[in-house]
Structures are given as structure tokens and as C-alpha cells.
A = this chain, B = another copy of it.
Amino acid sequence: MLEAWLRPRRVVHAHCDLPCGVYDPAQARIEAESVKATQARYQNAEKFKTAGETVEDYRTRALAIKEQRADLVKEHLWVLWTDYFKPEHLEKYPQLHDLFWRATKEAGAAKKSQDPDQGQKLLDEIDEIGKIFWETKA
């Protein structure tokens, strides 16, 4: 992993409307990992909570944090969809619209689910998007 970090970095990828040309599906993925980790910790609240809080407190906080992280997943995916992808990409990957629609809906579903398997499904959909993203960059 360290090696991967040190390797000359990819010449990367837009995420504002200047546009600056820096985009990276890693942004959505990191937040989705946080969503899944939070679901897993919710399930083991007893183990993860600290001394100063009850299991109920811990779960309340987990829900509030997951709500925000899932919003960030949506945000990052929407930006990729609208700002990075161009008509020529859509031609080559006609599934793009549906893929983003399902992935952002899955991020919304993550707010209502405390099951890490749901979070994994979200990660899988982001990875499908990531695969296409990196192919267009190749």
C-alpha cells in the first residue's frame, strides 16, 4: 500500500465547474466505506461504544453520522455523473444513467439500513462506476 502511495501519482481528474479537471471516484468510495463501517459498528454497539455513552447514545450517533456520509456519497456521485461524463462516454456505456441512478438510490437506502451487506452493495455499485471511469481515462 505504501508503495502504491509513493508511485508517481496519476495525472488526475476535475470536480468543480471551473472545471479544474480533477475527478476521482475514490471520493464517493471513501464515504461509502464509512457508511458500511458505521453499519457494522451499529451492529456491535456494545463492543464499540466508549464508557461515557450508552448503547442507545452510540446508535443515535451512528445514525446521524451515517445520514451525513450517505449524503456525501450521493453528492460525489452526482458530481461525477453530471460534470465528468460526456455524451461520448454515454454512447460507449449506455448503462451510465441507470448505473448512477441505482447507486445514488442505494446511497439513500443506506440511511434506512443498518445492515453492512447493504453498504457492500453500495460499494459494489460504486466500483462498477469506478471501473468505467478508469476505462475512459485509460
Q: Give residues in A with beta carbon < 8 Å to B.
A: 1-2, 4-6, 9-10, 12-18, 20-22, 24-27, 29-30, 33-34, 37-38, 41, 48-50, 52-53, 56-65, 67-70, 74, 78, 81-83, 97-98, 101, 104-105, 108-109, 111-115, 118, 127, 130-131, 133-135, 137-138
Contacts and interface: CB of A to CB of B under 8 A. Distances in A.
Given A24-B30, A50-B112, 11 more contacts: A14-B34, A14-B37, A15-B30, A20-B41, A24-B26, A26-B26, A52-B114, A53-B113, A57-B63, A97-B97, A97-B101
Copies held by the complex? 6
Given A41-B20, A64-B63, A108 B83 contact: yes
A101 B81 contact: yes
A57 B113 CA distance: 9
A100 B81 CA distance: 11
A15 B26 CA distance: 14
A111 B13 CA distance: 19
